[in-house]
Amino acid sequence: MSATPQRRGAAASASGVPGNGSGAPGRNFGEEGGRLTYGAYLRLPTLLDQQVLESDPPARDELLFISIHQVYELWFKLLLHELGEIRRAMTDDEVWLARHLFRRVHAVERILVDQIQVLETMTPQDFMAFREKLAPASGFQSVQFREMEFLSGHKDPGFLKRFRGLTDDEKERLDRRLAEPSLWDAFVMLLRRRGLAAGNDDEISESLVTVAHDRNGHDDLWQLAEDLMTHDEMAALWRQRHVTMVERQIGTKSGTGGSTGAPYLRSRLDLRYYPLLWELRTLL
Binding site members for substrate? 131, 256
Where is the binding site for heme, in residues? Answer: 242
* Other Cβ atoms closer than 10 A to 284: 8
User: Rounded to an integer, what distance in angstroms lies between the CA atom of residue 144 and that of residue 134?
Assistant: 19
Report whether the peptide linkage leading into residue 136 is cis, meaning its omega lies within 30 degrees of zero: yes
Where is the binding site, in residues? Answer: 131, 242, 256
Helix, coil or strand: residue 26 = coil
